[in-house]
């Protein structure tokens, strides 16, 4: 079952893994929220959609690679954010619920 909102998504972080029935974008965000950047990135780079590009951009921004992040934001049709990473994670999660 897909969480109803961001707080319910956060409660799922105590689980060992996200549900396999979740969309891959939401699974990627779950892994990132649990501190597994690599798995999140592996999933995001295989999502050839604007959302996949946005998640990919966020992950590179989080990594500190702004040049690469800017490329992926442009692929996603998004501007480079002027807000923090925690806020962007919440926005991304809510966009996938």
| Residue written as token pair 């501007």 | 79
pTM exceeds 0.75, yes or no: yes
Residue 38: pLDDT band by 50, 70, 90 thresholds?
very high
The arithmetic mean of pLDDT across residues 50-75, rounded, is: 98
The arithmetic mean of pLDDT across residues 81-97, rounded, is: 97
| Residue written as token pair 């956060």 | 10
Return the CATH fold of 21-95: 1.25.40
Q: Residue 11, CB half-sphere, CA atoms under 13 Å: how many?
A: 8
**How far, in Å, CA of 58 to CA of 51, rounded?**
10
Boundaries of every domain in the chain: 21-95
Residue 85: pLDDT band by 50, 70, 90 thresholds?
very high
The arithmetic mean of pLDDT across residues 5-22, rounded, is: 96
SS3 33: helix
The arithmetic mean of pLDDT across residues 68-74, rounded, is: 98
């Amino acid at each position: 079952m897909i969480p109803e909102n961001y707080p319910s998504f956060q409660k799922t972080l105590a689980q060992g893994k996200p549900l396999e029935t979740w969309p891959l974008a939401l699974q990627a965000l779950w892994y990132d929220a649990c501190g597994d950047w690599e798995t999140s990135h592996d999933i995001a780079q295989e999502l050839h959609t604007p959302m996949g590009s946005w998640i990919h951009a966020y992950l590179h921004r989080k990594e500190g690679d702004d040049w690469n992040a800017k490329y992926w934001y442009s692929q996603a049709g998004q501007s480079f954010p002027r807000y923090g990473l925690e806020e962007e994670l919440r926005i991304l999660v809510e966009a996938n619920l």
